[in-house]
Amino acid sequence: MTVFDIPFRDSRFSKYLENKRGNKRMEKPFALIIEDDRDISALFRHVLDIAGYHTEIILHGKEAIQRLDSVRPDIVLLDLHLPVVSGTQILEHMRADERLKSVPVVVITAYAACRSSRTWFS
């Protein structure tokens, strides 16, 4: 058992993931982590691995756009502050693409001004 197991098992996020997967036996769902901080992305990978997700980490915005053009993840964890192409540009790219527009995106950022900008994300 790891430190992350106990709080994660009963969290709202773990319940969302269980509902998303249901009781079906199937391939692991695919989570794309777009985050330039290696420590933070490793933490997210660990939590999603516990939840039964196959994960991939992308450290740069330009690489993320290229990867999203070839895959459709089940969920994306997206940092807003990335090198070359920003997280906001990636989100705009995803919402403009019919194939990606319904993919859930969890925005992760240290940028405090985003907390009060709910309309920006709709």
Fold adopted by 29-109: Rossmann fold (3.40.50)
Report CA 87 to chain centroid distance, whole Å. Answer: 11
Q: In whole angstroms, how far apart are CA 109 and each of 6, 78, 98?
A: 25, 8, 25
Phi, psi of 84 (to 5 degrees): 70, -65
Average pLDDT of the residues of the chain: 81
Q: What is the pLDDT of residues 25-40, one digit of tens each?
A: 458 899 999 999 999 9
pTM passes above 0.85: no
Percent of the chain with pLDDT over 90: 61
Q: Report the pLDDT value the prediction gives residue 27, as an integer from 0 to 100.
A: 81
**Secondary structure element (H or E) that encloses residue 6, with its range:** helix 5-9
Q: How far is it, in rounded angstroms, from Cα 19 to Cα 77?
A: 18
Instruction: State the residue for tokens 């933070």.
Output: 40
Average pLDDT for residues 103-110, to the nearest whole number?
89
Contact 121, 107 (CB under 8 A): yes
End-to-end CA, the chain: 38
User: Greater confidence, 5 or 56?
Assistant: 56
Average pLDDT for residues 14-20, to the nearest whole number?
61
Q: Report the pLDDT value the prediction gives residue 4, as an integer from 0 to 100.
A: 44
Where do the DSSP E strands lie in the chain?
A: 30-34, 54-58, 75-79, 105-108
Instruction: State the residue for tokens 């450290």.
Output: 59
